[in-house]
Amino acid sequence: MKKVISFISVVALFSLVLFLSGCGQEEKGKTGSQGEKKEAETQTKVEKEQELSLAQQGFSIDYIDAQTNGYLILELVGPGGDTYYGIMNEKFQWILRPTNEIIDIWDYQDGLVAAAVPETRQMILSRDEDAKLWGFINELGEWQIEPKYKEEYYGFSEGMAIVGTVEEDRDDLSNSRNIVIDQNGTEVFELKPMSNQSDEDDEEVYEDYSNYYFMNGYLKTDSGFYDSKGQFYNINQFIDLTDRSYLTYGIVDDKVIIGADGQVKVYSLDGKEINAFPMNMGDGDDEDIYVSTTKELAEENLFIVRSDAYDSDIVLMDMNGKTYLTDKNGMTVEGNYILLSEEDSNITSYYNFKGEKEFQVNNEEMLGELYPFDRYWVEGNEYARLVDINGKELIGEDKKIQTDGVSNYVDDDYVPKPIFEIDVRESADNPDFEDFLINMDTLEMMKVADLLER
């Protein structure tokens, strides 16, 4: 009898275990089913948003910043009022669709654009609630260098950039170094922390790295200059820069060009004077002489010297003292041309680096400036026309365009940009003009509103 009861008990216990196990599996099945359903709903929502255009999602364009590489950086307002940034290429195709993960962005330099994301470390946010981390995005819209830097200054030039680090050798993460990195984010060298200036209260004024960039293999600063490997040359071995600007010297073909005391002097990197030439200082012998060059000029071992003195010469010359062009009205370098404005006229002449006149344009008939270096806008009978320097019409009045013309300068820097905004009257029945973009190289036009449909 006891054996029968024991057997019945075992059977009952086994049945109870099976029942409870089944309930657990059923409950687990319900939970898993709910999770899968939620995931599927989320995926469906994302797919539907991707099917909707940006305009249909509620985006609007706040600002368009054309780039020298033909790209566009767009600042947009999202459906909830948040700021978004996106990047388009020269064909008006998105390479980085609008995102609110980026909170700041600059301009493309050397194929990379500096962009920032929010800092998340509370130790840093306690000191600066607006702290950012900077990195660099390439022309594919991808992070070439992940955001990890406290500061970004000028951007890349000749493959290198100055950034400020976040050092972790202190618990409060307050230490930082200013370093030079390459386009892989590898540290090349560290900049020397120094100051050679004082303000009115005799307190040190430290250097502003945002004005510094590499040119001709060197990084010029107020204190001196670095070569591409980090070798520092103190400018004081050549000239006392107290109360002077770093603009008073230039570096061409591994030579230091300095304007001082009414002369232009050429030094070797070890401080030895090689040549010296007198400078016509007009009515101001005690004024500074400024030396400037560009990548294109330096390739020909040329530079320009000028002075603030009234009636002084502006001279294009080489390191042997040979003069190629002299003018008093102004001398501008645009690419491989030197621009001179004819006195008492609206004519601008374009010279090559040998001092030979190549062509000229009449500024009075031109809307804006010459797009490098063969086309510009002129006023037609009713609408604007685009012509080349030989007078050939590239775009006629039938396109019904209004524009003030091309502008090649931003804050006195020569930065020609292929794409710029124009106004177009789309229909003869509608007197209103719409905002368009035009690629000055390809002459392709795109309605601004249509960017949100791509």
| pLDDT tens, residue by residue, 404-416 | 999 998 877 888 9
Predicted confidence (pLDDT) at residue 145 exceeds the cutoff of 50: yes
**pLDDT value at residue 195:** 53
Q: Work out the mean pLDDT of the chain and round it to a whole number.
A: 86
Rounded to whole angstroms, the Cα distance separating 12 from 388 reads 98
Q: What token pair was written down for 324? A: 């190629």
pTM of the model: 0.83
Q: Tell me the mean pLDDT in the region 169-173.
A: 81
Predicted confidence (pLDDT) at residue 111 exceeds the cutoff of 70: yes
Confidence at 4, pLDDT banded by 50, 70, 90: very low
Q: Tell me the mean pLDDT in the region 125-138.
A: 95
- Dihedral sign, Cα of residue 219, residue 221, residue 224, residue 230: negative
Rounded to whole angstroms, the Cα distance separating 436 from 420 reads 8
Predicted confidence (pLDDT) at residue 202 exceeds the cutoff of 70: no
Predicted confidence (pLDDT) at residue 338 exceeds the cutoff of 70: yes
| pLDDT tens, residue by residue, 173-192 | 888 999 999 999 999 999 98
Map tokens 């012509």 to a residue: 387
Higher pLDDT, 241 or 221: 221
**pLDDT value at residue 231:** 96
Q: With beta carbons less than 8 A apart as the criterion, state whether 247 and 291 touch.
A: yes
Rounded to whole angstroms, the Cα distance separating 90 from 176 reads 37
